[in-house]
Structure 1
Amino acid sequence: MIGKLAVVVLFVIGFGIGVVLYLINISIYMLSKAVELFLYILIASIGIVVAYEAKSIKEVMAGIDLSVRLVIATILGSILGGILTALILHSDVIVYLAIALGMGWYTFTGSYLATIDSYLGLLGFTANMFREIATILLYPILSKKYPIEAISIGGATTMDTTLPIIARFTNTSVTIIAFIHGLILTLLIPIIIPAIMATNPKTFIPSNR
């Protein structure tokens, strides 16, 4: 419980510091690069530990099987979320499907949708960034009862930014599933979003813009 609370508290503190630095206009470019480097090192370390602790190839193959099923569930859940959001906001289903199917990859989703419209780019970036934040905050809590199912919240981020959180609160088997799940989604998203937007060339911009 202490570990889970620590993750939330540290995130909130870091977020607060980031807001203050932004308000006083202090660049954090070097810090962001250092964090990126540390993240890569951490992911590599997790890979070494997972490979060392994996009991057998059979365990890895079982992880692949579960990951594929989880990917399907994540995509279906994202589709449902996109449709419900569009209905609630009385807006274009295609647009919100594309945003929801960004599945946490906010840099790609935001950048791609921005080529169509800057407002859509902002929506895509923000919605998917919050999905990553939600994973960081909620996974430590949900992992106790739903370690595998809760991976879906992270979407594509489970292969990189949220993988350390998942590894911290679960075990080798779940970490393998999370990484493969995120990897598959990362490969699919650049195909899915353009395909969806291509079905709606006259993109409708929400009326409450």
Structure 2
Amino acid sequence: KMELRALAFLTSGILVGYSGLAERALVISDKIISWLLLFLFFFIGADMACKGSLGELLRLKGKEIFLPFASLLGGAAGALLAGWVVGASLPLAAASGVGSGYYSITTVLLKEMAGPTSATIGFLANLMRECLVIVAAPLLVRLFGKHGTVGIAGATAMDVALPFITRSAGREIAFLSFASGVVVSVLVPVMVPLSYRLVERIFGV
């Protein structure tokens, strides 16, 4: 699975870094990452257009429209609270929380803004969020309801977490889960750097 591959590459990078073999490669890594990020944005847009994902958003109505925004704000607020309790960097906490399980984008953006350590924290936080929904979807539905579970899933509600949500919450939630995940996925690349800079400016950290 993609999650296992990501963890394997992360572990490999750590081992190579400790060996001292990666020092020269790291000099050009920032430029490579910047270009890869731009290509990633391009292919995300192309993929959504090809699958008709953006058209699905027009079917959202009433209070459903606010669910993806509640998901983003709830993720940021919860992460800020957790960051404050444990004494972690508040900008990093907010950015990781608003990443909404979209660990690939969140990791690259945090690497650009705050360095590899912050990127690793963001990656693990969002990977754990995705795994939480996969493993504990039935419990989440009982505790927070169908809509709450979709909100917790964040960006993963449109793909990885979708079958687990529908299995626990019923097929009738499938469309809302997918549409909410699409909106969150579109907003994450904007919200991660925005939340980081905003919290950094507000708290002066």
The residue number in structure 2 matching 1:159 is 158
Alignment match of 1:72 (pick from 65, 69, 74): 69
Normalising by structure 1, we get a TM-score of 0.62
The residue number in structure 2 matching 1:107 is 104
User: What is the distance in 1 between the residues matched to 2:167 and 2:178?
Assistant: 13
Q: Which runs of 5+ in 2 are unaligned?
A: 13-46
The residue number in structure 2 matching 1:54 is none
Q: Which amino acid aligns with 1:164?
A: P
Q: Which amino acid aligns with 2:163?
A: P
In the alignment, structure 1 residue 140 sits paired with structure 2 residue 142: no
Say whether the 8 Å CA contact 2:79–2:97 is kept in structure 1: yes
Mapping of residues 1-16 of structure 1, within 5 Å: none
In the TM superposition, what whole-angstrom CA distance separates every residue of 1:154-196 from its partner, at most 9, and x where no partner exists?
Answer: 1110011111212233334311110111011001111111222
The residue number in structure 1 matching 2:88 is 91
Aligned length: 154
The residue number in structure 1 matching 2:182 is 183
The residue number in structure 2 matching 1:81 is 78
RMSD: 3.2
- Percent of matched pairs sharing the same residue: 24
Which one has the bigger helix percentage? 2
User: What is the distance in 2 between the residues matched to 1:153 and 1:140?
Assistant: 13
TM-superposed CA distance for 1:144, in Å, is 5.0
Say whether the 8 Å CA contact 1:139–1:151 is kept in structure 2: no
User: What is the distance in 2 between the residues matched to 1:110 and 1:67?
Assistant: 29
Normalising by structure 2, we get a TM-score of 0.64
